[in-house]
Amino acid sequence: MAAPVTTSVFEQAEKYEYMNGFPGSHESECLPNALPIGRNSPQMPPYGLYAEKLSGSAFTSPRKENKQSWLYRIMPSASHSPFTPLPDSQQRPTPSYRHLPNQLRWSPLPFPSEPTCFLRGVHALAGTGSPTLKNGLEISIFSLTASMDPNTAFYSADGDYLLVPQDGDLDITTEFGALHVRPLEIAVIPRGIRFRIDLPQGRARGYMLETFNPGHFELPELGPIGSNGLANSRDFQVPKARYVDCTAPHRVVAKQNRIYYVAEQNHSPFDVVAWHGNYYPMKYDLGRFNTIGTISYDHPDPSIFTVLTLPSAVPGTAVADFVIFPPRWLVGQNTFRPPWYHRNCMSEFMGLISGGYDAKTGGGFVPGGASLHNVMAGHGPDGVTAKKASEGEQKPELVGKGSMAFMFESSLDVGATEGRGMEVVQEEYVRESWGGVERRVPRR
């Protein structure tokens, strides 16, 4: 029997129940008939709940782009004390970006020695733009050794989060319900949705992309591929309503223009009894991705590995693409099978969840690590990989068994930060990767 091609967690039992499908509208209720019928905001909603609309787009956005959900909750989210800035000691450093032509690579960020939850354990590596102008993105590593306080919730007013755990599970409580997200799964938490992250294994590390633009992630168009392939709509999982009724003191921490604020309230932020709409958190198992590849010649463009995209205002380009490189068969003949050497008008940030990456077999790119090839920076396979790919016998080959690499790709010029990530920059990356590439003098 052939070895399995996928790297997946779908064989494992789920902790929570989910609804399936993205994009599209969903509805969920914890109590029978908690959702009003025929109207969104009746004079008195069922069970005496409060109706609250959460808008992820302008009211007048085109129907296909309009994102909104209605929540029916015990207390309105507006019921809290005024927000005040967190003390300086609890603020994350505001990143300063250096836009460099150099190729960069990072080793994994070590786990902190002291208890560190999501509010303190996120470290920016790269980014550009401004949350207030709603343009740009930020790429971070999170390295956590503690769950968030059970009476604390967090939300970002700056942008949407895409979380990619690499080591350790994330148990995410949201206003819409709960998501249990394991390595080889991803989670998307749109702007403004309140959540809390617990760590079932006591620690977790991974990658995070925050997009500042007003749009949201969507599935890429399939074009000539046809109606199925890549990430299929039915495989995205959306939480079911799951409310908490509690009058103990709670904190809500908000991030606005990268500054952290806190407010107090005497009710749970997760008191939503029912909801409906098309603006919600979700998760996706990367092992369900239907990988497309060449069956003749040439390595295809990596766009065929796109899971989710956030289009820019320029047709055909993206503020951010989330691209994966799962286990797959290579069968192209008389073809340089790894990604070719190239320079790109896009910025490419790569991470490794598990295993190794077939274009970087020379070492240094390890799970939990990362690399950045900025706009027009030359890159491609290291010398060891290039020699093997150019001279080896070409038989059908399963590459990346047990491996999962990914890329955040952007049309923006992404700078590297001068924060904690610089402690684990591999200074010898360029020399080790391409210093050993052999000269190929034309043969007469």
Q: 180 labelled as ligand-binding?
A: no
* Run of H or E residues at 272: strand 272-277
For residues 137 and 122, give the distance between their C-alpha atoms in angstroms, rounded to a whole number.
Answer: 15
Task: Look at residues 143, 74, 134 and name the one whose alpha carbon lies nearest to residue 106.
Answer: 143
Residue 357 labelled as part of a binding site: yes
Residue 296: Cβ within 10 Å count: 9
DSSP result, 35-69: S-SS-SS-SS-GGGPEEEEEESS-TTS-GGG--EE
* Residues contacting 228, CB < 8 A, separation 6+: 222, 290
Q: Which sign does the torsion angle of CA 69, 70, 74, 77 carry?
A: positive
Q: What is each CA distance from 317 to 312, 346, 410, in whole angstroms?
A: 6, 9, 8
Tokens 């939300």 sit on residue? 155
373 is in an annotated binding site: no
Spatial CB neighbours of 265, under 8 Å, sequence gap ≥ 6? 75, 79, 80, 81, 249, 250, 251, 252
**Whole-angstrom distance, CA of residue 162 vs CA of residue 106:** 20
Q: State whether residue 152 is helix, strand or coil.
A: strand
Burial classification of residue 368, based on how many CB atoms lie within 10 Å of its CB (0-12 exposed, 13-18 middle, 19 or more buried): buried
- Residues marked active site are found at 299
Answer yes or no: are the C-beta atoms of 107 and 426 closer than 8 Å: yes
Q: Are strands 195-198 and 50-55 parallel, antiparallel or unpaired?
A: unpaired
Q: Is 341 known to sit in a ligand binding site? A: no
Instruction: Provide the token pair at 112.
Output: 């902190």
Q: Are 120 and 92 in contact (CB under 8 A)?
A: yes
Residue 302 burial (C-beta neighbours within 10 Å; 0-12, 13-18, 19+): middle
307, 58 in Cβ contact below 8 A?
Answer: no
Give me the DSSP letters along 98-142: E--SS-EEEPPPPPPSS---TTT-EEEEEEEEETTTTEEEEEEEE
For strand 236-239 and strand 318-325, is the pairing parallel, antiparallel, or unpaired?
Answer: unpaired
Beta bridge partners of 163: 187, 208
Please state the residue numbers annotated as binding site. Answer: 342, 348, 357, 379
Please state the residue numbers annotated as binding site for homogentisate. Answer: 357, 379
Please state the residue numbers annotated as binding site for Fe cation. Answer: 342, 348, 379
